[in-house]
Amino acid sequence: MTDATKLILLVEDDPDHELLTIRALKKSNIANDIRIARDGEEAVNLLFGENAISPQVILLDLKLPKIDGLEILRRIRQTPATQLLPVVVLTSSDEERDVVRSYQLGVNSYIRKPVNFNDFAEATRQLGMYWLVLNECAPLT
């Protein structure tokens, strides 16, 4: 795996949500590099492919083309090289079964995307502050 401990992996298929997330992170002075995966297959390739990355945190949408977010989460937790990576589900899904299944699969946090940009920016700021500044990640092998 490529060492990218300061990297954020954003797995998001909606270009508007991608742009809002990046804007909100930058507005919060989160200067980490951001890699984007626009579908589940691209995320799997980034995490498990030949030049796999090891991000500091993964922001994972659930409703993705090709491979859904829950399947990506399952693969992350079943693979020794990735099982300790912090994964935050950042989704618009308000389905209780998605929340329950995410936690059953080992998600670190589940956040519903607020509709209002200011609320979204504040949630993203807090998310960035916690996962990228305050949280101490487990050392990866």
CB 10 within 8 A of CB 72: no
The residues, ordered by sequence, that sit 6+ positions from 111 with a Cβ below 8 Å of its Cβ are: 88, 89, 90, 91, 123, 127
- CATH number of domain containing 81: 3.40.50.2300
The answer to the question of residue 137 being in a domain is: no
CB 43 within 8 A of CB 76: no
pTM over 0.85? The answer is yes
Residue 59: Cβ within 10 Å count: 25
Q: Structurally, how many domains does the chain consist of? A: 1
**Residue 63 in tokens:** 């409703």
Question: pLDDT digits over 59-70, tens only?
Answer: 999 999 999 999
Question: pLDDT digits over 1-49, tens only?
Answer: 444 458 999 999 999 889 988 888 887 788 789 999 999 999 999 999 9
Backbone angles phi, psi at 39, to 5 degrees: -155, 170
